[in-house]
Chains A and B, each alone.
Chain A
Amino acid sequence: MLGRLLIKSLWREKARTALIVLSVATASTLVSAFLNIAFTVTEEMAGELRSFGANIVVVPKSEPLEIVIGGLRFVSPGESAYLEEADLPRLKAIFWRHNIAAFAPFLSRVVEVEGEQALLVGTWFDKDIRIPEGKRFFTFASGAQREAASETETFRTGLKSLSRWWQVEGEWPREDEDGALIGSGLARRLKVGIGGRIRIALEKRSAVLPVRGIARTGGVEEEQIFVHLKLAQDLFGLPGKAEKIQVSALVTPDNALAARASRVDPAKLPLEEYETWYCTPYLGSVIYQIEEAIPNAKGKAIRQVSEAEGAFLARMRLTFILVIAVAILAASLAVMATMVTAIFERRQEIGLMKALGANAKHLGLFFLLEAALTGIGGGIVGYFGGLALVPLLSVRTFSLGGFGLSLSLQAAILPITLLVAVSVALLGSFFPVKEAMRFEPVKTLRGI
């Protein structure tokens, strides 16, 4: 009976039902669109922000003593400790491996170039690495294990991915042939251009390299020379070694848990907190996992980049939350206004129901279910409205190339949108329905 009553009541008041559906749909459209954009934008923006360089540097646990004078880095070879180049692919085998956007190893020495002293840096420019195969399990302190899907594909990374803001005239040197990328300042002093050759000497070893490209970076790199890592290792007599790795990782802004974990040894956190922290891509937890993966390595946060990124994304989320909150409030008020009128128009019907013996539970259930049904209708309309709005907003407002949210994420937004829509309808109906329960049947039947 309740079902018939609801359907017939909603159908009879088509115009009013449509008005409530429209009000709820307006808020739901914004919720759906902004949730879609929030996921897309934060992912894409995080990616864009990652183009401003690494946010993690990985060094050996026993870091060599180094002195930097005028942008040149002097290291005592005897005191150096190194990372193994062969360990680098393990970065793509950590729990948050998909958040490792790019990385590159570095090995540098001051060398003599055409009579001048300059820092020669060996690195990967654009290298395909094979991700370690096999099943991996992540074991938590509780003993619980989470299996990571095995990966067999390769990953292309290096300085080119890590430093996307660099402007390179000519071309990036290739991994399989000798060649140098030279900083624009140093090229000017050496009076060397693309296609020219430079002679590099370190102690008794030397090499003559063609200049493939000239880099403008706006930083100290403009006074340095970059070659592929193998060449630097041979020249320095350090085969298979790297002195640091710069990593660009997609991370989530720190919260109270991340701050707490940074103050104490994360392993000493309560079990549940530890697992939450480990399974959230905070900068600290990603570093922790890198240290687990690479032996004798120590990760450090490059805070400036990470914090700027975190603050930007946090502000972005706050803006979305505020817009959604205002939309929900406005829609709730619109629903409330419609419901107040509807309840007033139906006061005789309510009076009759009470005269027939309906109690507060009967009336509350009837009117709130009616509101919930219109809420679901509004939510469904709003969900698809939001999907239609996203491409427009993402291109026009956020300058994103397109809408690339996965179907699974889109599907996850539907229940959230429906939940918000039903909440809006119920919130807007609550006070009018409460008022309806107080109607005196004697007065309402007389039409007073």
Chain B
Amino acid sequence: MIEPLILLKAVTKDYNGKVRALDQVSLEVYPGEWAAVMGASGSGKTTLLNMIAALDRPTSGSVRVDGEDLLFLTEEDRARFRREKVGLIFQQFYLIPYLTAVENVMLAQYFHSMADAREAAEALRRVGLGERMGHYPSELSGGEQQRVCMARALINQPKIILADEPTGNLDAENEKTVMEIFHDLHRRGHTLLFVTHDPQIGTQADKIVKLEHGRVLPAFPVKALRSI
């Protein structure tokens, strides 16, 4: 029997004891699966992604990723978990402005083990940026920056790719390019978890988890959503 790669059980997250961002959320994502977490702004999508990326801790419940219970990890172990197990892609890209595209990718390698310019360049070529690797973020378009961000997320071959509104800041053309890369990753067996409010992006996943006010709505068949 295949174990889920991501397993959340009754996860609740309160802020200051007043705001409940997540309320008894349970979720399973299997290896090689593409899951999309959808919902309106403030529904708790990003909070859920932060829990899985070991960037935040739940108030209650359990978060198990690749067999590790994140609740009991020390700060040092959480840092190790992030650099070894997950690749993060952000809506705002978050590239270091004074490093070139290839150096931004090498930074993730440096924290993981050892920076290798040749490998980093190859990762950029795979996302179609072979000619732009010496450019600084300010010299790249939004789509190009997002592709640098993807190359950085993939460079250490993580088990899970976590993406927070990856096409949120992109125009239609760049959105298409980026989504093609995600499809390619999925075809090659990567496990993907997206957070998005865009049904067109969400419906490309195998599984959709809909959040509303921090609660998971009853399972909604993807095919039904696609037909809307």
Contacts and interface: CB of A to CB of B under 8 A. Distances in A.
Contacts of A356: 82-83, 88, 107-108, 111, 152
Interface stretch (A89-97, A119-127, A358-366): A358-366
Nearest to B114: A1
B99 A355 contact: no
Given A9-B98, A441-B55, A357 B108 contact: yes
Interface in B149-201: 152
A445 B82 CA distance: 15
A362 B111 contact: yes
B23 interface: no
Contact residues of A: prevailing secondary structure:
helix
A357 B96 contact: no
Interface in A288-318: none
A349 to B, nearest CB: 6
Interface residues of A, number: 24
B222 to A, nearest CB: 29
B84 A1 contact: no
A12 interface: yes
B56 interface: yes
Contacts of A11: 98
A256 interface: no
Most buried by A among B80, B107, B111, B115: B111
A1 B109 contact: yes
Given A1-B107, A5-B99, A8-B98, A355 B88 contact: yes
Contact residues of B: prevailing secondary structure:
helix
B90 interface: yes
Nearest to A354: B79
B109 A357 contact: no
B72 interface: no
A442 B56 contact: yes
Contact of B107 (A5, A12, A359, A440): A5
Interface string B102-113: 010011111110
A2 interface: yes
B220 interface: no
A323 interface: no
Contacts of A352: 94, 96
Contacts of A388: none
Given A5-B99, A360-B76, A355 B55 contact: yes
B50 interface: yes
A197 B99 CA distance: 94
Contact of A355 (B82, B96, B98, B110): B82
A412 interface: no
B35 interface: no
Interface string A1-41: 11011001101100000000000000000000000000000
A353 interface: yes
A357 B94 CA distance: 14
B97 interface: yes
A161 interface: no
A348 interface: yes
B83 A357 contact: yes
Contacts of B82: 354-357
A11 B98 CA distance: 9
Given A8-B98, A12-B98, A359 B76 contact: yes
Nearest to A351: B94
B129 interface: no
17 contacts: A1-B107, A2-B110, A5-B107, A8-B99, A8-B103, A12-B97, A349-B96, A356-B107, A356-B111, A356-B152, A357-B83, A357-B112, A359-B75, A359-B76, A441-B55, A442-B50, A442-B55
Given A356-B111, A358-B83, 8 more contacts: A1-B106, A5-B110, A8-B99, A12-B97, A352-B94, A357-B79, A359-B80, A362-B111
Give the 6 A-B CB pairs with smallest separation, nearest first: A357-B83, A1-B115, A12-B98, A1-B110, A359-B79, A357-B82
